[in-house]
Structure 1
Amino acid sequence: MYRFIILLICSALLFSCKKDKNKNEMQRENIEAKKMLQGVWTDDATGTPIIKIKGDSIFYTDPSISPVMFKVINDSLFTYGSVVNGYKIEKVNQYNFWFDSETGDVVQFSKSEDYNDLKFFSFDKPTLNSKKVIKKDSIINFNNVRYRGYVYINPSKIKVTQSRVSDEGINVDNFYYDNIIHICVYDGNKKLCSKDINKNMMSGIIPDDFLQNSILADMDFVGVNSKGYRYQAKVGIPDEASCYLVDVIIDKKSNVKFNVVK
């Protein structure tokens, strides 16, 4: 009886080990395929460099696209950006790399043999802002007083990521840098108010999912009344028409209130 129980336990352990071994083999990375993918790859149709593969990362010629870590598991390429994407590899060798795209087409790349193609991947840290402070000023007259309002659009290091499908049918992460905007109002040489504005201050009046994917794009000084000074901000999704216009009201005690423009 005891021998039978021991045999059952050993059989269960052996089955479990085989199952774990098969699972590990299924997830084992194809190192040989990864070695063949190292280098610059061009579009077969146009001859244009599209991606550079170095080590565990894929780099793109578009500086606004984040490099992404990848693995080759069995016959598929997996990329690990903001989401994990898998692409079935149709053909891979030292000269050709074909795989199924997000759109169902077969992407066909050829290994570049032109050293000059490396220059397409030589750029500074990507940014879609100017890296410079943009200054704007406007004059508003109210009750015979001449008010001058200033706007300083300051590029920040706050990154906003947008996932999209590239022209080649690859899911990529575009990233952008948000702005922090300084606003102030003067009556002659007298400073009446001064505030730094960021998009998170508008939480509660703009939906959180929109706010997370947007940038504080612009600001204008648009009015003065008995209650205070009015600016209008633009909060938008990069490269899309979707945006919110927000009134920024600063009272005489420098308290700030935000209202979405209907």
Structure 2
Amino acid sequence: MLLLFLLSLASCSGNKKENSDNVTEDLKAKKMLQGIWLDDESDEILFKIQGDTIYYPDAENAPVYFKIKKDTFYTYGKEVSRYKIDKQADHVFCFHSLSDNVVKLHKSEDDNDSLLMMGHRTTEVIPTYSEVTKRDSVVMYNGKRYRAYVYVNPSKKKVIKTSYSDEGISVDNVYYDNVMHICVYEGRKMIYGHDITKDTFLGVIPNEFLKNAILSDMEFYGVGKIGFRYQATVCIPESSVCNLVNLIIGFDGKLSIKIAQ
């Protein structure tokens, strides 16, 4: 339902520069918007406004800051979007979509709607890994026994991904990055032990890609004369767009990194 709403909601957004910096915010209009708003036709919750923030029923959609200036409703996600207001009252909110259709909303008076929105005041995205995952590999090389570990640690570092509809409407989604701890032992002697984050690959993977990606996985692929071979997967969330990076840990404990061919 949110996607359909955004398809009709979106107006001049993205690369257009907002020219209302010097326009005073309408605090009275903002106060009238406080509460839960429903679509007139479907009676479904479209969003909740609390303070200066819009919260959506879908926890994967990031809350966004908003303002009202003159007759325009501005939202400030990864991009600035603006919507021309057609009508506003205590329990009515109507505005123009990009196609110049009027989106008609009314304020909820049902306590159950408040319960449905409870818990969406912050984004609660389920990460790929919800707890520390340990992988332990035992390998032999030149008569010596080694243990190679990978610990996948979910982090609280958020990555915002803007998705676009066919019409070019943006929706901000939130994902959590991971930290990979890898270590190698010969008996009780630690050869290597460090955290690997996506920032480890600065200079190997383009910065713009890294900014929008998460460190998705880390696998141990064996040992040979050059050392212990790992491969990291760095991906744009919910897509097949990934970079694979080879990591070699030498027997001297030195790490080398190279993009996979």
TM-score bracket for this pair, using the shorter chain length: 0.7 to 0.9
Aligned to 2:253: 254
Q: Which range is displaced more, 212-221 or 80-89?
A: 80-89
SS at match of 1:27: coil
CA-based RMSD? 2.8
Match of 2:60 among 61, 64, 73: 64
Aligned to 1:99: 95
1:52 and 2:10 correspond: no
Match of 1:96, as an amino acid? V
SS at match of 2:113: helix
Q: 1:135 to 1:122 in 2, by over 3 A?
A: farther
Aligned pairs for 1:122-141 within 5 A? 122-123=118-119, 126-129=124-127, 130-141=129-140
SS at match of 2:252: coil
Whether the 8 Å CA contact 1:65–1:174 is kept in 2: the answer is yes
Match of 2:126, as an amino acid? L
Aligned to 2:184: 185
SS at match of 2:243: strand
Aligned to 2:232: 233
Aligned to 2:29: 33
Q: 1:221 to 1:72 in 2, by over 3 A?
A: same
Higher Cα radius of gyration: 1
1:112 and 2:108 correspond: yes
Aligned to 1:9: none
Whether the 8 Å CA contact 1:137–1:221 is kept in 2: the answer is no
Cα distance in 2 for residues equivalent to 1:109 and 1:53:
13
Aligned to 1:86: 82
Cα distance in 1 for residues equivalent to 2:102 and 2:160:
27
Whether the 8 Å CA contact 2:159–2:213 is kept in 1: the answer is yes
SS at match of 1:153: strand
Deviation at 1:170, TM superposition (A): 6.6
Cα distance in 2 for residues equivalent to 1:31 and 1:75:
12
Aligned to 1:20: none
Deviation string 1:90-123 (CA, Å, 9 cap, x unpaired) is 3333333233346765444332221111223322
Q: 1:135 to 1:46 in 2, by over 3 A?
A: farther
Deviation at 1:45, TM superposition (A): 4.3
Cα distance in 1 for residues equivalent to 2:141 and 2:95:
65
Q: 1:90 to 1:141 in 2, by over 3 A?
A: farther
Match of 1:110, as an amino acid? H
Match of 1:86, as an amino acid? R
Aligned to 2:175: 176
SS at match of 1:240: coil
Aligned to 1:205: 204
Deviation string 1:214-241 (CA, Å, 9 cap, x unpaired) is 1111111112111110111110111222
Deviation at 1:163, TM superposition (A): 2.5
Stretches of structure 2 that go unaligned for 5 or more consecutive residues are 1-18
